[in-house]
Structure 1
């Protein structure tokens, strides 16, 4: 959709809007591989101050409901307000991106909970987040080069390849509402971005992905999801997708949930809730400390992890329970000495406990990878590239190496930034991906002339002086077929009235006959006004599906009047 702006682009800027962390990167057209990221995300203060290449996907709203802060700054300010009991009416939102995952009934009215469990419409939060990242980026770019205009920038927004069409449109609409020109905006699929960046790396990585005919799997393991694509390098150097994107909700936040469950068992739910409400700095310290330990956890080098207990949490626990911490540890269903105290301010947790937190999401991931690699069309794939923040975990890497036989696992340096950097390269050269696999059968609902040899008698209806069959599924493209990124399918027809209404359907069925079958879903509709001054039989409407890009585009054009209209998603009406 951003092709018109490509020739004018001086800078490509990419946003990685993640479940847990977000960031941006950019490079100039005259040196596209010199990719710069923001180095100045700070958390906390004093001796405990942290520096990060990404910042949490957290939004703070003020007491009037307006945007105040994003990222570490949002969390730290909310915690400071709470310390002085001044946070009432202020609202903090964290990790809200997962509302878009596998949400077939997504609408712009979908809600998320704030830090205290109160609901709010999610769409404005996405808009505020993208607007903040855009403004932060503009400051960074304009301080480097004088005379840069925003119209010189092509924006790339990364999205999971496993997302539904409606979630992609949700993100595009949020970016446009944040002030980004739709003609200078491209959505990029995260595993593809990883693949694109890997060909720039050292020979150990490049040698596995950059030669003609190489086939490999990319696993993007982030905070919320595992997003998996399988690619092949074509003779012209471009990438083609050889298996439709797949994955699931097996990211790092599910390990976090298991970790926090232990804290509830040890200190009590009331104490932890009180800590969240009144000692937020201490609460955020718990989650931030674990994020580091989760990513560095290695069973070969780690026999136990040590975590800090704030004095405030210990006091709250004693306030709500007469049991000592040692007594609560003893009551847990874990082996003796698996969790022990070290003084008053530390807990020592055995590896076996930590492994239990990782077990379910990683079990599901590995089972899915085994199933995929056993499929006939990708049996020859023997290289897996693991990227994403959670992909940095040595434990996750170790389990994949140990449990998936005959596969070479490659983990690029700075795995958490690979998608972001690849997105910048993709923006400079979107044609680097030449074809993709379609995840659904797409088509329209039409009336066809009744044919007694083809159609059941009960489906015929008398329309316009003849027997017709309504709700016939007119297929434009079938599931699991490969299409070029510039692939268009156009069919012509004459309108029947002053308005043409085109209903777009999809299904996972390869050969649907009727749009009323189980599994057929109304994706959206297009309404186009026709001329009342020209006979309808002399007007021609062209219905066009544009496949193969990161987003599906469907339009109808009256070639006589020149009017055209685009599909409106049913869920966003």
Structure 2
């Protein structure tokens, strides 16, 4: 059996924590073929990163980490319970630190008196993350000494925490020679080398061009924003606080109401903030739909908002079918304010250099993922190409994984120039020639680790490739966008032509249901045909044809990666046969073309994931509505009257991805 080496990178950041990993075989095949883990929260949050928050019990022993810790704290707030645990939110933020005379660093908990050594918090966090990682890949039967553990350490202004991180990993039993420490800035440089466009300089004839990497970290743009702003808001959207505050302020000034008025429960607040963050990531910026961002509003807030805003409002906000639509002009104004400190810092740095030598600005960090961030930078600096790579918010973690592979392969030459992270934002300058070379990770504790690694390349579970855009979280966002934008617009158009509202809702739901069933049938038939054709006994009567899973899985993965190639013919075939399955006129077919095509796209991507994602259309009308899975758009009862939009699950009987929408009775 082939043996290979594994590199895993841990990044405990000021706001978020995560890890990524890949084998040397994956690195040699495609350096950006890097694996990540999906983290989940009971408040419908999911991400490739989890909050850097931790709870210690009354004896200051480990209790929970990440989403689990924040969920536990939020639940105690909601129930007004006295707690005997210590909750540390974003414990690497220096604003929570203080030092004793002996130089020891302590961190204050958020909920009670009783500081704890930073070293203790990091030790518990590292132990948890290591165990979590090994559990995720347990089928590969990996031993600790088969792994190179790359640790990203924060480059802080006043404190050097490298030794604390090193000791924490050593305490988990990892051999000293298998640990590599990499500073955040150098990890980001490694990331940049693999995403910087090649050939720009040779083809343009320009020499000695430079690229600037700008770290748009949420903690830098929105300093000291924590639970103090919204005491019962889960802080996976902590960096959105200034954006939310500004949008809320504009709403109050223009129309006299607030997004958060009446949102007393944690679920509702989390839902509103999470949908806002998802919307701002870019999928719902639609020039064809009035240039707006849509946020789904909880049903119990809709009546209040209708007193202030309607579907015909022209003051920057509209309420349409339970969705608050915010004009792009409002979002643009808000982001200009939020990004102002970062713009000023970039301007000062650029003035130090000859601007004629700068061609590209690469945006990384949490705030870089929002479409409006790139728009604002492009408007302010039209002379530069603004680049936002895929998964830019995880640049340091991905870069650390790449750095580990570079160390293993002996690529350690570099001419990269680095400017340390400043008080507002981190920033570094890279010569174009250096972007194509490898880094000299001189901040490593051990310059030449004696690594002896071997590992099976078996399939891991619950893992996705980071650069992959056909991921469950992306598909869930695409489906929600379909409901909030296309569904709402087409429903309004159909009703405007005199058709009954409830029958129109039923009509559009039927189209989605038929599309979903057709995609499931096609996906199953396709993979069944392929596996039968490849079986050695193909064509021999009386012999069942089935292939082992290790043969079928690569076929399924190949189909998933190339899923978009099959869409045009699938859509064409579906549109031609739809009148045979649904009572639809030619005029209605023309009106609904965009909705039909996007329904097929979403359903096809759901069905080619492994395991397939699941839409639930059937609900027992005698049972009380489960508000954790369904939102109520119409009616005031407790039972399902009719389904408007189905909930989406990661797989059948799996965790919820998107809530459904129903009318109640």
Structure 1 and Structure 2 fold alike (TM over 0.5): yes
Q: Are 2:442 and 1:549 equivalent residues in the alignment?
A: yes
Q: Is the 8 A contact 2:186 2:441 kept in 1?
A: no
Shift in alpha-carbon separation, 1:157–1:290, aligned structure 2, 3 A: farther
Partner of 1:132: 128
Distance 2:202 2:35 in 1: 25
Which SS does the other structure have where 2:63 is aligned?
strand
Instruction: Report matched runs for 1:383-422 at 5 Å.
Output: 383-422=360-399
Give the Å deviation of 1:404. 1.2
User: 1:185 maps to which residue?
Assistant: 179
- Residue 218 of structure 2: SS of its match in structure 1? coil
- 1:259 matched to 2:238? The reply is no
Cα distance, 1:62 vs structure 2: 4.1
Give SS of 2:219's match.
Answer: coil
Contact 2:21/2:36 (<8 A) preserved: no
Task: Spell out, residue by residue over 1:494-514, the C-alpha distance to the aligned partner (whole angstroms, 9 max, x if none).
Answer: xxxxxxxxxxxxxxxxxxxxx
2:270 aligned residue: 284
Q: What is the match of residue 233 of structure 1? A: none
2:197 to 187, 197, 205: 205
For 1:397 and 1:367, the matched residues in 2 are separated by: 16
What secondary structure sits across from 1:434 in the alignment? coil
Alignment of 1:72-471 (within 5 A): 72-80=67-75, 88-99=83-94, 108-114=104-110, 116=111, 120-121=115-116, 123=118, 124-144=120-140, 146=141, 148-160=142-154, 163=157, 166-176=160-170, 180-201=174-195, 205-208=197-200, 215-225=210-220, 253-260=238-245, 275=264, 279-296=265-282, 301=287, 303-310=291-298, 337-339=315-317, 347-376=324-353, 379-430=356-407, 431-432=411-412, 434=414
Aligned mate of 1:66, from 61, 64, 84: 61
Q: 1:375 to 1:341 in 2, by over 3 A?
A: same
Counterparts of 2:356 and 2:155 in 1: how far apart (Å)?
21
Matches within 5 A, 1:30-45: 30-32=25-27, 33=31, 35-44=33-42
Q: Does the C-alpha gap of structure 1 residues 409 and 337 become closer, same or farther in structure 2, counting only changes over 3 Å?
A: closer
The separation in 2 between residues aligned to 1:87 and 1:314, in whole angstroms, is: 33
Aligned to 1:16, the other structure's residue is in SS state strand
CA contact (8 A) 2:368 2:393 kept: yes
Cα distance change, pair 30–350 in 1 and its aligned pair in 2 (3 A): closer
Distance of aligned partners of 1:311 and 1:20 in 2 relative to their CA distance in 1, 3 Å threshold: farther
Shift of 1:426: 0.5
Residues of 2 paired with 1:209 and 1:188: CA distance?
29
Distance 1:34 1:181, change over 3 A: same
Describe the SS at the equivalent of 2:348. helix
Q: In the superposition, relative to structure 1, how do residues 356 and 178 fare at CA in structure 2: closer, same or farther (>3 Å)?
A: farther
Task: Give the whole-Å Cα distance in 1 for the aligned partners of 2:49 and 2:279.
Answer: 17
Q: How many residue pairs end up in the alignment?
A: 391
> Closer, same or farther in 2 for the Cα pair 1:13/1:350, shift >3 Å?
same
Give the deviation of 1:551 after TM superposition. Answer: 6.6
Structural RMSD (CA): 4.7
User: Equivalents in 1 of 2:220, 2:245: separation in Å?
Assistant: 19
1:217 shift after superposition: 1.5
Please list the CA deviations of residues 167-225 of structure 1 after superposition, one character each: whole Å capped at 9, or x if unmatched. Answer: 44554455455665554332323343333234445xx7243599996631222323324
Quick one: distance in 1 between partners of 2:202 and 2:117? 40
Separation of aligned partners in 1, 2:301 and 2:61: 32
More helix by share: 2
**Against the structure 1 CA distance between its residues 352 and 110, is the aligned structure 2 distance closer, same or farther, given a 3 Å change threshold?**
farther
SS in 2 for 1:195: helix
Tell me how far 1:102 sits from its aligned partner. Answer: 11
Q: Distance in 2 between matches of 1:394 and 1:164?
A: 33
Contact 1:59 1:129 in 2 (8 A): yes
Distance 1:267 1:39, change over 3 A: same
Q: Retained in 1: the 8 A contact 2:191–2:399? A: yes
Residues 46-105 of structure 1, C-alpha deviation per residue, up to 9 Å, x if partnerless? xxx454322232323445543232223333344455566656334543333322799999
Which stretches in structure 2 are left out of the alignment for 5+ residues? 222-235, 421-428, 432-439, 447-665
Question: Aligned equivalents of 2:116 and 2:285: distance in 1?
Answer: 42
- Distance of aligned partners of 1:194 and 1:91 in 2 relative to their CA distance in 1, 3 Å threshold: same
Give the number of the structure with larger relative contact order, counting CA–CA contacts within 8 Å between residues 6 or more apart. Answer: 2
Tell me, in whole angstroms, the C-alpha distance in 2 between the residues paired with 1:196 and 1:29: 16
On the 8 A contact 2:211/2:359 being kept in 1, the answer is: yes
1:105-139 Cα shifts (integer Å, max 9, x gaps): 9954332442x476643613333323222211122
Instruction: Note if contact 1:255-1:358 (Cα within 8 Å) is conserved in structure 2.
Output: no
Q: Distance in 2 between matches of 1:51 and 1:209?
A: 40
Residue 10 of structure 1 is aligned with which of 5, 17, 24? 5
Shift of residue 397 of structure 1? 0.8
Separation in structure 1 between the aligned mates of residue 95 and residue 164 of structure 2, nearest angstrom: 8
- Give the conservation status (yes or no) of the 8 Å contact 2:96–2:108: no
Offset of residue 292 of structure 1: 1.8
For each residue in 1:126-155, what CA deviation from the matched residue of structure 2 results, as whole angstroms up to 9, or x when unmatched? 3332322221112233422x3x32122222
**For 2:284 and 2:51, how far apart are their aligned partners in 1?**
24
Question: What does residue 519 of structure 1 align with?
Answer: none
Structure 1, gaps ≥5 residues long = 1-7, 227-250, 316-323, 330-334, 441-479, 483-546, 554-573
**Would the aligned equivalents of 2:98 and 2:106 in 1 still touch at CA under 8 Å?**
no
Are residues 267 and 413 of structure 1, via their aligned partners in 2, closer, same or farther at CA, if it must alter by over 3 Å?
A: closer
Q: Displacement, 1:385?
A: 1.7
* TM-score, normalised by the number of residues in structure 2: 0.49
Separation in structure 2 between the aligned mates of residue 411 and residue 376 of structure 1, nearest angstrom: 22
SS at match of 1:372: helix
Partner of 1:528: none
